[in-house]
Structure formats: structure tokens, C-alpha cells
Amino acid sequence: MLLGVLAAAFVSTTSPVSAETLESAMARAYVANPTLNAQRASVRVTDENVPRALSGYRPRVSATADVGAQFSEVETPARPNPAAGTVTPNNTSVTRSAPRGVGLQVEQTLFNGFRTFNNTRSAESQVLGARETLRSTEQSVLFAGVTAYMDVLRDTANLNLQRNNVEVLEEQLRQTRDRFDVGEVTRTDVAQAESRLALGRAQVSAAESRLRASIATFRRVIGIEPRQLAPGRPLDRLVPANLETAIRIALDEHPAIHAALHALDAAELVVKVEESFLYPSVALRGTAQQRYDSQFVGDERFTASAVVSVTVPIYEGGENYARIRQAKELAGQRRIEVDLTRDQVREAVVTAWGQLEAAKAQIIATQAQVEAAETALAGVREEARVGQRTTLDVLNAQQELLTARVNLITAQRDRVVFSYAVVQAMGRLTTQTLGLKVAQYSPKQHFDQVKDLWYGVRTPDGR
């Protein structure tokens, strides 16, 4: 296969390290890709919504403490005492105290219209949806890795072709000048060869630019510079026999559809959460307080209470009703988005399938084109030697062969990439189905670590 041959030329120009395969590149992307790691962090953020919702079942405890200084001065003025014939003197009394105390309050919700229950279910649906979004992101990253890998191979092979074309054109120009010196061709033939050589050098510069861009993309997606890339192969073992099967699998398994369904579940539960604000709520509140010097120096006082309170909402200015209607409209939006996602998934499968079939046909056509162009170029060169063809005919034949070879490389790249595109569109481009040798990331592990936590500020990884 021409792509493999030209990829070998890329291998020979790199450092002598072990060859990178398409599978190992995808494994690197699975571990180190920043987009994927950011999405994993987003799932961990969503996990914390469950313990937040479960907190509604748990008591809320608060403690208070206070201390202060109090100064009191009471002055009684002198006043006569007619009965005794005396005068009561002025009397001044000063009191200093330090009122202080500690208190504890415990509040437990007994009933809130099933708000906590529905909040918890909604949070769990959000977690499941986030996991499906993560699966979709994983597949997008793996496909981006395949695309970046094959683009480097394609652009490297194209660059080698363009450089080889320049070498051929330089030799063609040398021969044309020699023939011009002996009078076999005209100055026009020399100018045509010079023009085509200048075009070839410009095409080399353009090919170098495209390769640099592909290498930069490879570095961003995979995480390392490309070194000794082995040829890629199509993923035919995971491609169904027909389009109908591919569509059926996609509609059943694609993570984007499952994420949309979980988002719908969460939105419908939000409606119930908002409706709970119309129901009565029952709470138990217990308090205990110890006071010192509250009324006079040296006194102590302890008080405790337990109160069950019932709150019945009557009218909140219409806000609760508006929030319920808003939640219902949001649920309606999510329901429409489920149908939209199904249509998008189906479209992606049909598109990828068509691109794969076109790439297969393109390979057959361009292989025939290359063979015909090689034969034509050999014939034109022989005819040019006997004067039956012009220099321009030879240059045009060389350009046709170059174009055919470039088209073949592109078709072979597309054959590999679009086979992976079909599998991704079905929702099956995962490390398990690909058999990649990499440690699997399990979002359930973090969820199990945090869902029942009652306290603690450190994340499971120690931060």
C-alpha cells in the first residue's frame, strides 16, 4: 500500500525509538488529553450534587457562644424623711458583670413535600447524564487522535512526493537546457520547465506548512511529538455489514442520546421539586443554652426546648407558580432535544457511512489513475525523445501522475479515518471495543467515594 511505503520514508527521518502505532497514540490521548481530563473533572463536579441533595435528609447543627462586659451604676438622690426628721443621704450602687453563654441548635426537616427525594433523584440523573457526556467526549478525543495520526502520515507522504517531484523537475530542466544548447528545443520549452519547477517548489513549501500544522494538532491531541508512526489500518472489524444495522446500533447505544434522556429525566424531576414548595413543611427544632451573669453577678441559667413547627405556604406573590411553569417548559425543551439528538446521530451515521463508501471507491479509482498516469508518462517521455511530444506534454504528464499519487494518499487516509468515523457515529469507539492497553477511567469510583460523605473538605485525591 502506497501510504505504508511513504510512511516508511517518514520513519527513516526520525530518531531511533520504538515505533508509534495508531492504537498506542489513541491510548496516549485517552490518558493525557486535556479536553478529556477536563470532562472527567466536570463529571466529578456533578457527582457532588448528590451529597448536596442528600443533605436535606440530615440534621443541621449550629453552636453559638458570646461573652461581654456590663457596667451598671445606679444613683439614689438624697430625700427628707419627715417621720424621722432626718434626710436620707445620696446612695450610689455600681454593678459589674460579664454576661456570657453557649448554645446549641439542632434542626431536622421531617417533611418538605418530597423535595429532598426528588432533588436526589434529579442529581443522580445529572450524574448519569454527565457520564454519558464523558463517554461521548472520550470517543470524540479518540477519533481526533485517529484523525491527527493519519493527517501526519498523509502530509508526510505528500511532502515526500512534492520533494521528489522537485527533484524530477530539476532533472527535467537540466535536460531541457542541454537540448536547448544543441538546438533541439526552443527557449519556450526552457521557460515552461522553469515555471513548472517554481510551482513544484511552492508546492513543497505548502506541503511543509500543512505538515507542521498537522504535527501541532498531533501534539495537542496526543500529547507528544510524532515519532516513527506506523501505517494505520481501517477499523473494518467493527463496521457493520450494512447501513441499517449501523443506524439501529447508534440509536440504541450512542451516549449522546442517553445523555439527552437523562437530562429529560432530571428536568421532569425539577418540576416535582418546584411543586414541593406549595406543600406544607414540618421541621423539628431543638435548642439548649447555658447562660452566666444574665441578670446579676453569679447567676447561672440553663434552658432547653424542642419544637415541632409546621409551615403552610399560602401565597408567595406568584413566584412559585412561575417557577413551576418555567420548569415544565424546560422539560418540554429537553424532550424536543432528545428527538433532535436522535436525528443528529442518525445523520452522523449516514454521513460517515457515505464517506467510507466513497473512500473505498476513491482508492480503486485512484489506483487505476496512478497506473494509467505512470504508463502515460513513460510513453510521453519516449515520444518526446523522438520529437513527437513537447516538453510541456512531459511536464503535464508528470503533474498528472503527481496529482494521482496525492489523491491516492488522501483516499487511503480517508479510508482509515472514515472507518473510525462510522464506529464513532454508532457510539462504539471506546477503549474496550478497540482493545487498547490502557487503564480504564471509572467515574463510578469517585461517585462511590463522595455520595455518602457527611463531612470533610478534602477531595478523594487528597486536595
Asked if 47 contacts 447 with a C-beta cutoff of 8 angstroms, the reply is yes
pLDDT for residue 16: 44
Report the topology of domain 2-59+114-278+320-435.
Outer membrane efflux proteins (OEP) (1.20.1600)
CB-based burial of residue 4 (10 Å sphere; 0-12 exposed, 13-18 middle, 19+ buried)?
middle
Residues 6+ apart with CB under 8 A from 147: 417
**Residue 162, C-alpha cell as written in the block:** 512534492
Residue 397: predicted pLDDT? 86
What does the pLDDT look like over 233-242, one tens digit per residue?
A: 999 999 999 9
Write down the number of H helices and E strands in the chain: 12, 8
Give the 3-state secondary structure percentages of the chain, helix then strand then coil, rounded to 5. 65, 15, 20
- Asked whether the predicted pLDDT for residue 289 surpasses 80, the reply is yes
Angle between helices 34-47 and 443-450 (to 10 degrees): 30
Say which DSSP state 229 is in: B
Kindly state the percentage of the chain with pLDDT values over 70: 93
Each as own residue / partner, the long-range contacts of residues 326-333 (CB below 8 Å, 24 or more positions apart, any chain) are 326/274, 327/267, 327/270, 327/271, 327/273, 327/274, 328/271, 330/267, 330/270, 331/264, 331/267, 331/268, 331/270, 331/271, 333/267
The answer on pLDDT for 14 being more than 60 is no
Helix (H, G, I), strand (E, B) or coil at 196: helix
Q: Residue 227 pLDDT > 50, yes or no?
A: yes
**Sign of the dihedral defined by the CA atoms of residues 21, 145, 220, 30, in that order:** negative
pLDDT grade, residue 120 (50/70/90)?
A: very high
pTM: 0.85
pLDDT at 9 over 70: no
Q: DSSP string of 235-266?
A: -GGGS-SSHHHHHHHHHHH-HHHHHHHHHHHH
Cβ atoms of 53 and 269 within 8 Å: the answer is no
| Residues 392/192, Cβ–Cβ less than 8 Å | yes
Residue closest to 34 by CA, chosen among 144, 150, 149: 144
DSSP of 362-421: HHHHHHHHHHHHHHHHHHHHHHHHTTSS-HHHHHHHHHHHHHHHHHHHHHHHHHHHHHHH
Residue 432 binned pLDDT confidence (cut-offs 50, 70, 90): very high
Strands (E), 177-236: none
Query: Quick one: which of 371, 401, 395 has its CA closest to 381?
Result: 395
Tens digits of residue pLDDT in 293-329: 877 777 888 999 999 999 999 988 899 999 999 999 9
User: How do residues 70-85 score in pLDDT, each as one tens digit?
Assistant: 877 777 776 776 666 6
Residue with cell 470524540: 140
Mean pLDDT of 355-362: 94
- 86-88 and 60-67: which strand pairing? unpaired
Q: CB within 8 A of 150, min separation 6: which ones?
A: 22, 232, 413, 416, 417
Give the model's confidence band at 96: pLDDT under 50 very low, under 70 low, under 90 confident, else very high: confident
Torsion angle in degrees (nearest 10) through CA of 8, 12, 17, 18: 10
Domain residue ranges in the chain: 2-59+114-278+320-435
